[in-house]
Structure 1
Amino acid sequence: MKFGLQLGYWMAAPPANAGEMVTAAEEAGFDAVFAAESWGSDAFGPLAWWGSRTSRVRLGTSVVQLSARTPTSTAMHALTLDHLSGGRAVLGLGVSGPQVVEGWYGQPFAKPLQRTREYVDIVRQVLAREAPVTSAGPHYPLPYTGPGASGLGKPLKPITHPLRADLPIWLGAEGPKNVALTAEIADGWLAIYYAPRLAGMYNEWLDEGFARAGARRSRADFEIAASCQVVVTDDAAAEIERMRWVMSLYIGGMGAPELNFHAHVYRRMGYDREVDEITELFRAGKKAEAAAAVPDEMILDTAIIGDEDHVRAQLPVWEKAGVTMLLIGVPDLESMRRIAPLVQG
């Protein structure tokens, strides 16, 4: 099982130590470094800037949002990063949620599965560069012939020859239909809030996709990168307490009350009552009470927290559950020093 460093997206300002963390991750033996985006910093810029200090680690987006760019624009970003890094780019895509898609990008959120399938097809056409890129739509018609069209648009091939036609595309997916689609059309799954005890359920979703006609991969060559908080500490209780606040935000405050994909993930884990309570408290502005309502089990289902012996003993559990990469956040060089022996085996 490999390790990936998750840089995430920026908050109010760029992180002060990201460059040295990327360098330290490569030295420690990490397989990849990933950057994210929400509605502030983008994912490609940090990878190009800080990734230029590296020579081996893969550089991945986890994730770039479909609605932020047209499929051809995303393909341009990916092929550019792939050339600059000598073939180390991984394109991670995700649909985001309606609050961001419609509120920030001004795009409709409807039919995310159809949009994803069409989007990935166009990106692959660009990377293959076998013929001018076309799409019948309905979400990303190429060339555009709808209202306001000049009638002058024509199919084009990228001027720049992509370095790799098979640049890997991974999808961020949370629900059963989206995970099945991921297994069908993608090269890997970026899994958030993955719980090893539910591996059987995830495998059913994945197997549905692998079994579809024309599926791109099989389980043997498909990557599962699971986001996981891995913390080596002698004070697990304090770390769990810190995580309660983050988890209450994602469960109770991310997305609309009637459509929160993160909350749905925890409902599938069996935490219906807890999700209801956390959401009610968070929406009422009682954030401390919402954090206190997060039980330890909700955190430990998707995290590994403890001393080095405990963490080392838990890693095989995740690998046995089918995870090929643990995608972890490491806040500072001291934490990286503690993690490095685990990465190195």
Structure 2
Amino acid sequence: MTDRTVHLPVAAQDSLDDVVGIGEHAEELGYDRAWFPETWGRDAVTTLSALADRTDSIGLGTSIVNTYSRSAALLGQTAATLQEHSGGRFRLGLGPSGPAVVEGWHGQEFGNPLKRTREYVDVVRKVLAGERVDYDGDIVQTGGFRLRQGPPEPAPEIDVTGMGPKAVELAGRFADGWHALMFTKDGFEDRLEDLRRGAELGDRDPEDVRTTFVLPCCALPDGDAARDLVRQHLAFYVGGMGTFYRDALARQGHEDAAETIYEAWQDEERERAVASVSDDLLDALGAAGTPEEVRERVSDFAAVDGVDAIAVSFPRAADRAIIDQTLEAVAPE
């Protein structure tokens, strides 16, 4: 059975208490895990620590923290501490993010993202195993240290995100899971082949690599209003978050729409960018409309072969009332 998880929102929330409250509500509704992304809003570690204090059973995870703003050793320490603090409920999701965050916000050069991700996974695993970490990679060098406390039991699993063929192949080869963001069903199935090839190259069973499909959702009695919110959300990602989402959408057969949305957003023609997200494209990438319509769409995505978990995410402009209505509409049965 496909798990139902939730991406806590990074925008449009007045306080940390509001964000944690959404996680508490998700636990009450029976969601399996609450993920928290990290861009240039609230940091993931503090947020998930606060959520761990106010929940009992829901899993917790980062989706994602980037591999540039923290060292690999620090990410290992952080994962070990969050696993301890949450009583074994933590799962680490990491990835390179993109230039908009890494260069524009953190001031770090965005180079060799795949090699960096691979080396971070290697080092974090060694840290979490309690091993002495002697690592001389092309990106990461560390030597002579190990955790002072005992390693977490069990060690948290490590997921990575990726959009291109090589990035997803890397996930299959080295990670415990892959997070798929901004994919159509067909696009996901294409990348699933890369994931399986990577697992085989790593002499692993592809079924052991857990897939999480991140799905923008909005369910309101006014279905058109819900669709407008998701349309704006998709336009922002394709047009305003660098070129990765644009290029990923183009690879999935939507090149004209991807270019139009991106160019309009870059030209600050936001209304044209949003209007360029057609109804068909909206339905291919998200679940938006009335509660009944959204439940059906989420079930359709959950039924796609190879999807182990759906991560319900929310439009950037969604307030608490909209988020609560959507959470309730698509809660696990």
Same fold at TM > 0.5: yes
1:247 and 2:247 aligned: no
State the AA in 2 paired with 1:75.
G
- Find the structure with the greater CA-based Rg: 1
Aligned to 1:193: 182
In the alignment, the residues of structure 2 paired with residue 303 and residue 340 of structure 1 have an alpha-carbon distance, to the nearest angstrom, of 17
- Note if contact 1:9-1:42 (Cα within 8 Å) is conserved in structure 2: no
Is 1:220 aligned to 2:203, yes or no?
Answer: no
SS in 1 for 2:43: coil
User: Partner of 1:325 in structure 2?
Assistant: 309
Distance change in 2, residues 1:234/1:9 (3 Å): closer
C-alpha contact (below 8 Å) 1:10/1:41 kept by paired residues = no
Contact kept? 2:135, 2:141, Cα under 8 Å: yes
Aligned positions of 1:146-295 closer than 5 A:
155-164=144-153, 166-215=155-204, 218-255=205-242, 260-295=243-278
Change over 3 Å in CA distance of 1:138–1:334 after alignment to 2 = closer
Q: Which residue is 1:97 aligned to?
A: 98
On the 8 A contact 2:199/2:206 being kept in 1, the answer is yes
Residues 218-271 of structure 1, C-alpha deviation per residue, up to 9 Å, x if partnerless? 33232211111233333322222222222222212211xxxx101012102222
TM-score with structure 2 setting the length:
0.91
Alignment gaps of 5+ in structure 2: none
- Post-superposition offset of 1:103: 3.3
Q: For the residues of structure 2 that align with 1:71 and 1:228, how far apart are their CA atoms?
A: 29
Aligned 8 A contact 1:7 1:18 in 2: yes
Structure 1 residues 38-77: aligned runs within 5 Å: 38-77=39-78
Whole-Å separation in 2 of the counterparts to 1:270 and 1:224: 22
1:10 deviates by 4.7
User: Residue 193 of structure 1 aligns to which amino acid in structure 2?
Assistant: M
Query: Secondary structure of 1:228's partner?
Result: strand
Q: Shift in Å at residue 320 of structure 1?
A: 2.8
- Spell out the pairing of 1:4-153 with structure 2 (5 A cutoff): 4-10=5-11, 14=15, 17-129=18-130, 131-143=131-143
Please give the secondary structure, in 1, of the residue aligned with 2:134: coil
Deviating above 4 A after TM superposition, structure 1's stretches of 4 or more consecutive aligned residues are: 10-13
Q: Indicate how the Cα distance of structure 1 residues 231 and 12 shifts in structure 2: closer, same or farther if over 3 A, else same.
A: closer
Normalised TM-score (structure 1): 0.88
The aligned amino acid for 1:344 is P
Q: Supply the AA of the counterpart residue of 1:106.
A: G
Query: Residue 301 of structure 1: which of 265, 274, 284 is its match?
Result: 284
| Amino acid across the alignment from 2:235 | S
In 2: Cα distance, 1:294 partner to 1:334 partner:
21
Task: Look up the match of 1:148.
Answer: none
Answer whether contact 1:33 1:58 (CA < 8 A) is retained.
Answer: yes
CA gap 1:69/1:14 in 2 versus in 1, 3 angstroms: same
- Is the deviation greater in 24-33 or in 280-289? 280-289
Any stretches of 5+ residues in structure 1 without a counterpart? 144-154
Deviation at 1:204, TM superposition (A): 1.3
CA 230–9 in structure 1, closer or farther in 2 if over 3 Å, else same: closer
Q: Distance in 2 between matches of 1:37 and 1:339?
A: 21
1:72 positional shift: 0.6
- State the Cα distance separating 1:13 from its structure 2 match: 5.3
Question: Which residue number in structure 2 is paired with residue 336 of structure 1?
Answer: 324
Aligned partner of residue 37 in structure 1, secondary structure: coil
Compared with structure 1, are the counterparts of its residues 45 and 16 closer, same or farther at alpha carbon in structure 2 (3 Å cutoff)? closer
Cα drift, residue 279 of structure 1: 2.0
> What residue identity is the alignment partner of 1:171?
V
For the residues of structure 1 that align with 2:260 and 2:322, how far apart are their CA atoms?
A: 36
Please tell me whether the aligned partners of residues 100 and 241 of structure 2 are also in contact (alpha carbons under 8 angstroms).
no
Percent identical residues: 29
- Residues 44-97 of structure 1 show CA distances to partners (whole Å, capped at 9, x for unaligned) of 110001221111111100111110100110111111010011101110101011
Deviations 1:112-141 (A, max 9, x none): 111111111000000111x31011122111
Count residues with an aligned counterpart: 327
Shift of 1:311: 3.2
DSSP 3-state at the match of 1:52? helix
| Contact preservation (8 Å) 1:127, 1:164 | no
Q: Secondary structure at the match of 2:4?
A: strand
For the residue of structure 1 that corresponds to 2:201, the secondary structure is: coil
Identify if the C-alpha distance between structure 1 residues 284 and 230 changes in structure 2 by more than 3 Å, giving closer, same or farther.
Answer: closer
Which AA in structure 2 matches 1:29? G
Residues 1:238 and 1:86: Cα distance change in structure 2 (over 3 Å): same
Alpha-carbon separation, structure 2, partners of 1:219 and 1:112: 23
| 1:313 shift after superposition | 3.1
Deviation string, structure 1 residues 140-197 (Cα, Å, up to 9, x no partner): 1113xxxxxxxxxxx0111011223531111111111101101111111111112223
Secondary structure of the corresponding residue to residue 107 of structure 2: coil
User: 1:150 maps to what in 2?
Assistant: none
